[in-house]
Amino acid sequence: MEGGMSDLPKFETLLLTRTGRRLTITMNRPEVLNAFGGPMHAEIIDALAFARDDTGSDVVVITGAGRAFSAGGDIEGMRRVIDEPTLFDKEAAEAKALIFTLLDIDKPVVARVNGAAIGLGATIALFCDVTFAGESAKIGDPHVAIGLVAGDGGAIIWPALIGLHRAKEFLLTGETLTAAKAGEIGLVNHVVADEALDAAVDAFCDRLIAGAQPAIRWTKTVMNMELKRVAHALMDPGIAYESLSVRTEEHKARVDAFLAKAREKRK
């Protein structure tokens, strides 16, 4: 199947492409800044599972179509969950599967952050092994801004990358960082001019593909062991606390205020 395109699965909200030994997963809802509405939550898990098992690739790139990497959660969907909190159970299971499937990919996974990476979008980018961001990109986990616990992975990966105190500052305020700030504190590996993003990602992927594949994969496997241990310890309580926050009046009020503001803008 090496180098072929016909073997790649088709998705409603994602586009999978292969160039040589590189597989690219593109979140493909540009009209809503690749927000996680509809089937994308489930489809990205299937795409990551395919990437994990794909014998035709040695490097995986995750990116977004259009102006954003991913704007994160779908606010309209959050309103439906408020009315029917049991819907969160499915989302919780998918959130766990997404993180664990991503961590189980033994080949290098590179994030190409071409615009806003917010909430779950930020979590996915940061759980990748190496992150390249265009200078106009922004990254943040604003769960608390809408009254939710950052339980779907942010509380695991931000401290792992920038230390506990810095991570607390950004997750407890929900602050969105510029790409420059994210690069300065080590949240992302590289920040480049927007027009240089593709060349930077391409060069790095080519370097990895030219490397010794068993050594690269097994080195990643060893380094991911501690991250997996922490993820397995924290995902269940994180999701449980997020489930509690879904049911609070504070969350409901903040989502309703956000939607009312969006309606005013459309008038």
CB atoms within 10 A of CB 13: 22
- Confidence at residue 38, expressed as pLDDT on a 0 to 100 scale: 76
Tell me whether residue 147 is exposed, middle or buried, using C-beta atoms within 10 angstroms of its C-beta: 0 to 12, 13 to 18, 19 or more.
Answer: middle
**Burial category of 84 from C-beta neighbours within 10 Å (exposed 0-12, middle 13-18, buried 19 and up):** exposed
Q: Are 22 and 59 a contacting pair, CB within 8 Å?
A: yes
Q: Is residue 75 part of a domain?
A: yes
153 within some domain: yes
pLDDT of residue 1: 32
What is the average pLDDT score of the chain? 94
Residue 113 placed within a domain: yes
Tens-place pLDDT, residues 133-149: 999 999 999 999 999 99
Q: Would you state the pLDDT for residue 6?
A: 58
Query: DSSP 3-state assignment of 3?
Result: coil
Range of the domain at 223: 14-266
Q: How many domains does the chain have?
A: 1
Q: What is the CATH number of the domain that holds 81?
A: 3.90.226.10
Question: Over the stretch 78-119, which tens digit does the pLDDT of each residue have?
Answer: 888 888 888 888 888 899 999 999 999 999 999 999 999 999
Strand residue runs (E) in the chain: 14-19, 22-27, 59-64, 68-70, 109-113, 116-118, 130-134, 138-140, 176-178, 190-192
Report if residue 122 sits inside a domain.
yes
- β-pairing, 130-134 vs 68-70, is unpaired
Give the pLDDT confidence score for residue 261 in this predicted structure: 85
Regions in the chain scoring below 70 on pLDDT: 1-6
Global pTM reads: 0.94
Residue 4 located in a structural domain: no
